[in-house]
Amino acid sequence: MAQMELAVLDFIQEFFRNPFMDSLMPAVTSLGDAGFLWILLGLALLCSRKYRRTGAAVLLSLAADLVICNLLLKNMVARVRPCDLNPAVQLLIARPSDFSFPSGHTAAAFTSVFSLYRENNRLWKSVLVLAAVIAFSRMYLYVHFPTDVLGGVAVGWVCALAGQAVSRRLFPQA
């Protein structure tokens, strides 16, 4: 399986890598660093009476994502990163220090997308585009396998369900 996934990453390197993308992808991926952008989104929504429950759903979902993805799954699975298996690829960002599965950047991004979607917030469509580009950037930068990214999407869905369930109890009237 790893060989097939490395082939996908090598295809991305061969057909998409160019100076413009080499400067764009590190900037895109940095938008997902530490979930900062998604936390700001949740806080901004939380400050609005109209979107308070949506903001709570985003923030609670991100908290669940932190625990499930970064504290549990990454350490339980302990998957090496593709850049460790193929050190010939020149990294454009610092090598992440944690394990590869699932992609935390992708999980946080899709946690936010699914939280917005489940709360019927139209912003989900715009956030989906950004989340997809961030997820692609993780493969472009050779720090995640495709299944790491898919795992991040799945974690995002589960966390959004959990966050929404709690936010609906906290803000039933919203």
Note the helical H segments in the chain.
2-16, 19-30, 36-46, 52-65, 74-77, 82-85, 104-118, 124-140, 146-170
| Residue 17 DSSP symbol | -
**103 and 148 Cβ atoms separated by less than 8 Å:** yes
Q: Which of 74, 118, 138, 144 is catalytic?
A: 144
Q: Which of 81, 105, 118, 138 is catalytic?
A: 105
Helix and strand numbers (H, E) in the chain are 9, 0
Please name the residue that has the structure tokens 């995002």: 156
**32 vs 108: CA distance, rounded Å:** 8
CA–CA distances in Å: residue 167 to residues 90, 101, 158: 43, 28, 14
Q: Is 45 a catalytic residue?
A: no
Measured between alpha carbons, how far apart are the two ends of the chain, in Å? 46
Q: Is 167 a catalytic residue?
A: no
Token readout for 124 is 């989900």
Active site residue ranges = 105, 144
